[in-house]
Structure formats: structure tokens, C-alpha cells
Amino acid sequence: MKTKKKLPFKPLLAVAMSLVMLTATACSNSKSSGGNEKDADGNYKDKLKISVAQTIEVKDGQMDNEFHKYWMDKFNVDWDYNYVQWDSWPEKLRLWVNSGDLPDVASWNYVHGDFMNYVDQGLLYKFPDDWKERWPNVAAAYKLTGLGDKLEEMTGGTYILPKPVYYQNKPADPLVNQIGVIALRKDWAKAVGFELKDAYTTSELMHYAELVKEKDPGKVGSKLVPISYNSDDALTNIIMANSEHSRVESAYYRGEDGKFHWGPADPETLTGLKLMQKAYKEGLMNPEFYTWKSSEASDNFRVKGVAAIASLGGLASYRKDVDTDMKKNLGVNSDDLVHTALVVGDDGKYRNLEQPNFWSSLIFSPDISDEKFERIMDIIDYSTSQEGQLLLNMGFEGKDWKYGDNKELVSLLPQGTSLEDKYPARFEGLYVLGDDFSAINPAIKKEYRDRAVKLFQEKAKLGTEGGKLATYDWDVQLYDSKEKSQGTFEYQNEYAHLILQDGDLETNWKNWVKGKQSLVQPVLDDLNKKFAQ
């Protein structure tokens, strides 16, 4: 076992000198250590080389553009960039942290048990007590995550910056997960006499798929895929629509009795499984849907044009991607062909997952110098300001965007291009996720943005007014144990296997539930012991 890492000892003289330095700079906007003095023009005197690890790949030459130069010049930094592949992200960061090789700052997909161990062993940098006063923009965004304050209660300090999904442009309250939105071919719906609505039951969508299969309004023949879902899409849009606790995010939940239950064993999950099996057996889903990876399912809709229904997700940027793909690959205007909508259960109730306002996080090396930490925080604080957010998401005013007559944002980029095309690998912001800006980004058609916000608000309304919104329970989410790890499953694969089995589905499901009890019951027992009301 790795021994606890000791913090470096500072002699009293060094401490006294530090106090003198802080006093000498008290008249500035923020305190700074010796390596962050500024000249008369407010520029940093010393250049710092900062190592950073992200899942965004920066290829040779990509940072040789005006955008990256602006950030590096403004903050007088050189980036020592470390690319982490998506598939190896969790393990790579775990190895770096435990071996003491963590870069100065790294993007990390938060794991609560690992975090608590890292703090206990001194493997993460502890923020100065006054950091929220020194970097108020970061502090404001941090507070909205909820997780930050929760972890401070548990550890007595700040060791991590959870990344806020939404900051200034939260689309709805309560915030619901962006999943649970589908796209369907509205031209085909018109051809077969199917009504366009804002929300459909799972069976209504299956009926539409049956009509398309029967009449083939797109004349695509044997290539037709009425419902183009992979295993995860089917879980989201068929099973979860009928059972809000069927996904891993909410599988263990506190019931109305105050005790904890396992959602996959609920009768509502069987309802969803029956609908999923019906769609499969009737040939509405592809026979090999469970083997599809990544974008194979959605490509049938947006690239090949052979699907009637596909899972989409609720962000306006996703709708823009569909439009781009259909123009590029099919030579069509998607506005004439695509309708987006929500999916509800066959009982008419809307189900979704309440979304925590964070995804992944920033962590700092315990060995980072004060100068580097402060410089990074200065960068993040600027990037989180209104000016910084516009720069990150829009580029340069007057060159990439402008204000319109009504003070609305207007993109000046050529039609069909994006900021990423012009300035690849934009990562300098580091903190607030791009989801926040998508609601106001003029590079995305206003109709897409308005529709996305409307559906988010409709989700929140339906989920709280007679719906079944799976609320985010911090006790469950921050509970970590060996038992929980063993009792966590890839439900999309488990459900696909169940509906493919020979024999009676209900019997198979009951046997599956029974077979999992040796792993599930210890989790329930532990949760009930610790948190039952």
C-alpha cells in the first residue's frame, strides 16, 4: 500500500518571507506568489511552462494559430500538453495520481472512492483557504456544481474543481438529463399519416415504425431500419421511458418508504423489457443492434438516410450535427425531414434522471508550485468570465463574431464552418463545459436552440408535475464500496441479453433478478444501514 505522502516542510524563515511578499502585493487585485509579478502594463513578467492532461488531442502545429497565441501571450505560458485517449482515461489518471506523476493540472472523470483515498494520502493539491475570494468567477461556477460544497463538508478543504455543465445558461429547473430525446423522419410521418407531437409513448413510436416498415415511404427497401437504436439507446428510450430506475445512474434508489431498492427488479423495468423485445421480434430494430458501437445506430439516420427513428439527445449542438451530416452525406435540408420529440412511458408518465450540474473535474499535482497553481487559476477565472466565455466559444469580436442591431450575438464564420475548424483543439478554458453556451451560440441555428430549450423545459415540467423524475441522491452517488463496485452492471448489455433469450421473458427476468441478488443485496443492506430514513 502506498504510504501517505508528506507535505513539504517550510522553515519559519520561508513562511515569514511569504507573508512579507503577500503584504507587499496586497494592493493588487489578487495575491500572487513570487513567479506571478506583473509589469506596469499588467503583463506577467515570468513565463511558466505548465503541464496539462486532457482528452482533447492536440496534434503538431494545431496550436500555431491566433487563438492559442492569444491565451499563451496573455498569461505568458507554454503548454506541455499530454493527450489522454478516451478509452484509457480513467486508468491513465489513476496510474499518474498513485505514482506521483500527475501533470500540473489534469482533467479527471470523478470517482468518489478514489478521490477520498487520494485526499487521505496527500496525492492532490489542497487549495488555499481564500481561493474563492481570489478567483470569484471560478468560485461562482464551482458553487453551482453542488459537488464542490459537498466534498468540502467531507474533507474540510478544496482539493478538486468539478466542472459545471451549465453556468450562465441553465435551460431548465430542475435540471434534467439531456437524454430521452429522439429524432424521427417527419416527411415519412406525413406520408404514412402519423401525427407530429412534442412527446410520444413508446408504443406510439413503435406504431410509427410499423407503418414505415409496411409502406416504406422512403423507398429504401431492405436497408430500412425503422428504429435505429443500439443497446444503450434502447435502454434510454424504451426501458427508462417506462422505468426511471432502470439505468446505472439511478439503479439504487431511496423509495417512498425511506429504504433503498434496486430499480432493475421493479415491475416497470419488465414493462420496458417487454416493449423492447416486441420491437426486436417484429423486426422494427436491427437484428444486430446489440453489437453496434458508437455512432453506428445514428449513422443510419443522419448519414445513410435509412432510419425512421434514432436517439438524439437534447442539446442544440446535436441537432446541428444532424443537419451538417445530412447535408454532407445526403444532400438534403434536415429542416424538411427531421422532427425532435420526447419519449414517455406507455402509462403516459414522463421519466428522466435529474442531472447533477457537473461532469468530470480538474485536479492539480500535489507538487505543483504556488506560481503555477495561481497562473492556472488566473486563466480559469478569466475563461469563466463573460469576456472569456465569448472568446472561448465565439472567437474574436469583429473577426469571428459581432453584436447585431438588437445586441444579439452574430457569427461571422463562413457558412458550414465552426470555430473548431478555424482554431483546432481549443482547451485553454479548461473548466465550464460547452453545453452551457450551446443555448445561446449563434453558430447554431436559432430554431435548434429554441427547440432544445423548449424540450428541456418540457422535461422539467412533465417530470415534476405527475411525472417520475429520478432525483439525484447525494448519499447514493457519493457512496462507494467494494460491494457497490461488485453490484454495478452494464445494464444495456444485460437487458439486450434478456430480450434475446429463448423462453418466456418474464420468467427469464425473474431468474436474472434472483441471480443478481448475491451482489445486489449487500449494497442494499449497506445503504439501508447508513442512510435509510
Phi, psi of 227 (to 5 degrees): -120, 105
Q: What pLDDT is recorded for position 446? A: 92
Contact predicate 258/533, CB 8 Å: yes
Among left, alpha and beta (phi > 0; psi -120 to 50; other), residue 216 is left
Q: Residues in the chain with pLDDT < 50?
A: 1-31
Q: What pLDDT is recorded for position 18? A: 38
Q: Which of 242, 290, 267 is nearest to 513 (CA)?
A: 267
Q: What pLDDT is recorded for position 33? A: 56
Q: What pLDDT is recorded for position 13? A: 34
Q: What pLDDT is recorded for position 427? A: 83
Q: Which domains does the chain have, with CATH numbers?
A: 42-162+360-400 (3.40.190.10), 181-354+471-531 (3.40.190.10)
Q: What pLDDT is recorded for position 34? A: 60
- Entry pTM: 0.84
Q: What pLDDT is recorded for position 183? A: 98
pLDDT per residue as tens digits for the range 144-198: 999 999 999 999 999 999 999 999 999 999 999 999 999 999 999 999 999 999 9
* Separation of alpha carbons 454 and 199, rounded Å: 12
Query: What's the CA angle centered on 504, arms 499 and 506, to 5 degrees?
Result: 75
Contact predicate 176/467, CB 8 Å: no
Q: Which of 378, 375, 399 is nearest to 388 (CA)?
A: 378
Q: What pLDDT is recorded for position 300? A: 98
Contact predicate 374/380, CB 8 Å: no
Contacts of 386 (CB under 8 A, 6+ apart): 168
| Helix orientation angle between 112-120 and 89-99, rounded to the nearest 10 degrees | 10
